[in-house]
């Protein structure tokens, strides 16, 4: 079976400017993923060893898992020296590497080191999301402008899902491939080559508890999902874990739409453009799906700050398009 390292090396030639650096960077991300996976799997032992964020029985401070994951990915990327700056959900400002090798690194990364981390204690899958760009500045420490790039300029993106098995799914703009961690040997093996959304799709994933705050277009789309129409596979079925990586991963394999819309309380929704929506949107498009705000393509948005939030509709293409129809039809501007 093909390993992640072999696969990435083979694909290197697909880059016009390939020098092996992106290959190295993706491999470093794979290494950090294994370390985080080890800690995530230990999370069930918190009752025995002490809660994360508290002292364990040896009196040592247990790092919170999201803090651990952040440090782990930051360190792994420093090790290779390919990355000059990182925007992370865990850091208010961009993180720049001060060592000489990293300062000459060609790439910047936006990441959510442990998305859905509030789900750890209930044993629900969580994930890491990453997005890679070529830097814009020519040298020195990376800067904000390097990170505030449009999603369509990503050179690679992916996620790691720490679930019943641990998978790394990524794209470099040539389709989407998924690798499963074989724990017995500690190697990611190609298990899901050329992933695409299936034709049909009947899952909709949305936190309906926010229903009263939704815009009319979202409410009408939900109503549409619930109508009886066997010809279009309706009523659809609801699946919502509340962990973006897990919800997206399931919908990618089974066919479905994930929505985190803007609400009257939070018009920009909850999810962050740089390290949640853009990488997932890139994967979705590469898998034949679609990602939008309900009105415009996610990957076309010019970000203005690193923790910017956007409404997010992602998944099977025809389902996202249908949701967009409702958003347009019931848009306040049409009244």
- Interface residues toward ligand AHM, by CB under 6 A: 89, 112, 115-118, 207, 242-244, 247, 270
Residue 272: Cβ-neighbour burial (10 angstroms; 0-12, 13-18, 19+): buried
Q: Min. distance of Cβ 147 from Mg ion in angstroms?
A: 17
DSSP of 10-60? HHGGGSTT--SHHHHHHHHHHHHHHHHHHHHHHGGGHHHH--TTSB-TTSP
Q: Which is nearer to Mg ion, 78 or 309 (CB)?
A: 309
Whether the CB-CB separation of 248 and 280 falls below 8 Å is answered with yes
| The entry of ligand AHM, Mg ion, none that residue 270 binds, CB within 5 to 8 Å by partner kind | ligand AHM
- Taking the complex as a whole, the smallest distance from the CB of residue 112 to Mg ion amounts, in Å, to 4
- Give the nearer residue to ligand AHM in terms of CB position, either 155 or 310: 310
Distances (CA, A) of 45 to 21, 38, 68, 136: 38, 12, 16, 44
CA 293/CA 312 separation, integer angstroms: 5
Q: What is the smallest separation between the CB atom of 268 and ligand AHM, expressed in angstroms?
A: 13
112 binds Mg ion (CB under 5 A): yes
Complex with ligand AHM: residue 265 or 335, whichever CB lies closer: 265
Rounded to 5 degrees, what are φ and ψ at 322?
-65, -45
d(C-alpha 239, C-alpha 302), whole Å: 31
Burial of 144 (0-12, 13-18, 19+ CB in 10 A): middle
Which of the listed partners (ligand AHM, Mg ion, none) does 242 bind, with a CB threshold of 5 to 8 Å by partner kind?
ligand AHM
Select 236 or 260, whichever has its Cβ closest to ligand AHM: 260
Q: Which of 115, 247, 285, 324 binds Mg ion (CB under 5 A)?
A: 115
Could you give the CA distance from residue 56 to residue 62 in angstroms, rounded to a whole number? 6
Task: Give the H or E element holding residue 219.
Answer: helix 216-226
Number of residues that bind Mg ion (CB under 5 A): 2
Among ligand AHM, Mg ion, none, residue 117 binds (CB under 5-8 Å by kind): ligand AHM
Q: Residue 110 binds which entry of Mg ion, ligand AHM, none, with Cβ cut-offs from 5 to 8 Å by kind? A: none
CB of 66 to Mg ion, least distance (A): 9
Identity of the residue, 28 or 112, whose beta carbon is nearer to Mg ion in the bound complex: 112
The DSSP-derived string for 241-295 is -S-HHHHHHHHHHH-EEEEE--BSS-TT-SSBIIIIIHHHHHHHHHTT-EEESSS
Instruction: Choose one: 39-47, 108-116, 135-143, 317-325; the region binding Mg ion (CB under 5 A).
Output: 108-116
User: Which range, of 7-15, 48-56, 66-74, 109-117, touches Mg ion by CB under 5 A?
Assistant: 109-117
- Least CB distance to ligand AHM at residue 200 (A): 23
Nearer to Mg ion, 131 or 202 (CB): 131
CA distance 331 to 23: 44
Binding site for Mg ion (CB under 5 A): 112, 115
């Amino acid at each position: 079976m093909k390993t992640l390292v072999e696969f990435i090396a083979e694909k290197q030639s697909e880059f016009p400017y390939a020098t092996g650096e992106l290959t190295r960077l993706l491999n470093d991300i794979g290494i950090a993923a294994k370390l985080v996976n080890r800690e995530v799997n230990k999370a069930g032992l918190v009752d025995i060893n002490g809660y994360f964020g508290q002292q364990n029985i040896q009196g040592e401070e247990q790092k919170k898992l999201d803090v651990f994951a952040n440090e782990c990915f930051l360190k792994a990327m420093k090790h290779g020296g390919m990355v000059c700056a990182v925007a992370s959900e865990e850091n208010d400002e961009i993180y720049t590497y001060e060592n000489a090798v990293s300062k000459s690194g060609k790439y910047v990364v936006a990441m959510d080191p442990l998305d859905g981390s509030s789900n750890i204690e209930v044993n629900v899958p969580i994930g890491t999301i990453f997005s890679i760009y070529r830097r814009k500045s020519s040298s020195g420490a990376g800067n904000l402008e390097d990170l505030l790039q449009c999603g369509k300029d990503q050179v690679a993106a992916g996620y790691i899902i720490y679930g019943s098995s641990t998978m790394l799914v990524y794209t470099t703009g040539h389709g989407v491939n998924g690798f499963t961690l074989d724990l017995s040997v500690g190697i990611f093996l190609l298990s899901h080559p050329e992933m695409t959304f299936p034709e049909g799709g009947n899952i909709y994933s949305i936190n309906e508890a926010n229903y009263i705050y939704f815009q009319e277009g979202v409410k009408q789309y939900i109503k549409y999902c619930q109508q009886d129409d066997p010809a279009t596979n309706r009523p659809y079925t609801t699946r919502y874990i509340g962990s973006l990586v897990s919800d997206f991963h399931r919908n990618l394999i089974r066919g479905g739409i994930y929505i985190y819309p803007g609400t009257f309380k939070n018009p920009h929704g909850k999810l962050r453009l740089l390290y949640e929506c853009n990488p997932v949107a890139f994967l979705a498009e590469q898998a034949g799906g679609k990602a939008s705000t309900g009105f415009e393509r996610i990957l076309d948005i010019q970000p203005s700050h690193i923790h910017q939030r956007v409404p997010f509709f992602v998944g099977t293409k025809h389902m996202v398009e249908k949701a967009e129809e409702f958003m347009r039809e019931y848009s306040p501007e049409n009244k």
